[in-house]
Structure 1
Amino acid sequence: MRKLIFSLCLLLSLSSVVNAQKALKVGETLPNVALLSTAGTIYDLKAQKNTKGFILIFMTPTCDHCIAYEPRVSALDKKYKVKGYPLVAIGPYGDDPIKYPFDAMPAMKKLAKEKDFKFPYLSDDKFKYTWLLGIKETPTAVVLQKTKAGYLIKYIGRIDDEQNQKLIPKNKFVEKVVDKLL
């Protein structure tokens, strides 16, 4: 019995170590992202031509901080899409309307239409990319640079240093990273 309990404890601790190591970090390469969009099609980063990389924003329809950032997210897309770094939003709960009815695909579609998003809004199937990139809160930005091997992760973190939509940020983290890449 002791051997069984010890084996189970060892197995659980090893599995948590393995799971903790799966999140990619800045400097590592993400092979691709391909997810269902609010337009009803699969959006595949590799299929997008004439890009130098992407700005991913993990956001949900009901998060107060995401709502406050919507104008800044749209402004990032407008500013950098023409420079080869289009924005792609990802909803972590998009594929589960039972557990997350206010953040799933129907709510994402409604938000994208109401706000007239000019960028794709994708549903993360079973949190695949949310966990792979270690996303723990929304909104979180990821800046990817296109390489032959895939997409080099250049940044994971906040969009800027000001959550209050009425105030101007002093440090625009995403813009600094993308401007350096250009």
Structure 2
Amino acid sequence: MTRKIFFMIALACSTLLVQAQKALRAGDFIGNIELMGTDDRLFSLNAQKGAKGFIIVFMSNSCDHCIKYKDRIIALDNRFKKKGFPVVAIAPYGDDPIKYPLDAMPKMKEWVRAKNIRFPYLADRAFKYSYLFGIRHTPEAVILQRKGSQYEIKYIGDIDDNPELKKPLTNRYVENILAKIS
């Protein structure tokens, strides 16, 4: 009997652990995000009172694709910040200068200054939000829409369909979603 109870408790705990590790999807809700920025201040989504939502871009300053997307990400911020959806960038490797010296906070700060980046660039803590959103590569975008004190996930995926800029863009995924909700 004791063995059976122990087995049931172990099964319940492992089921909860597996469920807790599932990545969020469009339609799910998330609370506030707070991370350290390149300005050495803690950035909080909830503190951005005028925002209707956010375009979260997971990026790395040493990633070739992110470098190619820099101007498109800046253009998204310039266009949609006015509509209440500013860009907030998150660096998956930003908190580990030992394992990721080219992508950690010191290099993030250099990159922001050199590229004149105006949107917040935050360091993920131990890949917390990268895992939570199921980020598979950089750059990858998440669109959040404020719903009271929570944020509804409207989209997780590529910014558009042309990471190499070798052909004209045919699908601007982030812009299309934002056109519907902003």
* Counterpart Cα distance in 1 of 2:57 and 2:14: 32
The TM-score, its normalising length taken from structure 1, stands at 0.89
Q: Does 1:171 align with 2:174?
A: no
Paired position in structure 1 for 2:56? 56
Cα shift readout 1:40-94 (whole Å, capped 9, x = no counterpart): 1011000001111000000001111111100100000000011100000000010
TM-score by length of 2: 0.89
The question of whether the paired residues in 2 share the 8 Å contact of 1:69 and 1:165 is answered with no
Alignment of 1:4-23 (within 5 A): 14=15, 17-21=18-22, 23=23
Contact 1:74 1:117 in 2 (8 A): yes
Unaligned runs of 5+ in 2: none
Distance 1:96 1:102 in 2: 10
Q: Distance in 2 between matches of 1:179 and 1:25?
A: 20
1:96-115 aligned at under 5 Å gives the runs 96-115=96-115
1:92 maps to 92
2: CA distance, partners of 1:181 / 1:137: 25
Larger displacement relative to structure 2 (166-175 or 51-60): 166-175
Q: How does 1:12-161 map to 2 (within 5 A)?
A: 14=15, 17-21=18-22, 23-161=23-161
Cα deviations by residue, 1:106-141 (Å, 9 ceiling, x for unpaired): 111111111100100000011111111111111000
* RMSD (Å), alpha carbons: 2.0
The one-letter amino acid of 2:138's match is T
Is the Cα contact below 8 Å between 2:21 and 2:132 reproduced in 1? no
By how many angstroms is 1:15 displaced? 7.5
| Partner of residue 162, structure 1 | 162
How many residue pairs match? The answer is 175
C-alpha contact 1:28 1:153 (8 A) present in aligned 2: yes
Q: Assess if the C-alpha contact under 8 Å between 1:87 and 1:119 holds in 2.
A: yes
Sequence identity (%): 48
